[in-house]
Amino acid sequence: MAEEKIEKAAAPAVEPAAEGAAAAPAAADTKRKKSGRHVPSGIAYVHATFNNTKVTFTDLHGNVLCWSSSGKNGFKGSRKSTAYAAQVVAADAAKKAEALGMKDVEVRINGPGAGRDSAVRGIASIGMEINAIKDITPVPHNGCRPPKRRRV
């Protein structure tokens, strides 16, 4: 059996060298283009904090397809946390997702920021159908002790 494995491993290495230049053009012609992913439905995660807004589009298994954030779209400082910035971010990410063939989306909102509602409007403005809107902001059930009160 060991001899058979050695012969099988050696055989493919010899064949392309024997054909030489004739094999190279054929390989170039048969090389397929990288086909784009086609994802008809997915999930849009909107992470709206007090300082920033991020939108991530995933497939139904949670694999990230595209994303966008306020800083990536040219907003700096306090303008990153505005509702307008969130709308622009969501529209930008939705355009990228639409290029991948996404039509239906479920929106999951996380965080207390100003861009919560306007991000959903930005996704809808592109023409995507929103199936569900879910708030996944974590809420403590009297968990950790809060820091002591600030004295000003």
pLDDT in tens, 15-60: 555 555 555 555 556 766 556 789 999 999 999 999 999 999 999 9
Q: Give the N- to C-terminal CA distance of the chain in Å, as an integer.
A: 82
Q: Which residue has the tokens 């505005």?
A: 82
**Which CATH code is given to the segment(s) 41-135?**
3.30.420.80
The predicted-structure confidence for 68-123, as pLDDT tens digits, reads as follows: 999 999 999 999 999 999 999 999 999 999 999 999 999 999 999 999 999 999 99
pLDDT recorded at residue 30: 74
Instruction: Supply the DSSP symbol for 76.
Output: -
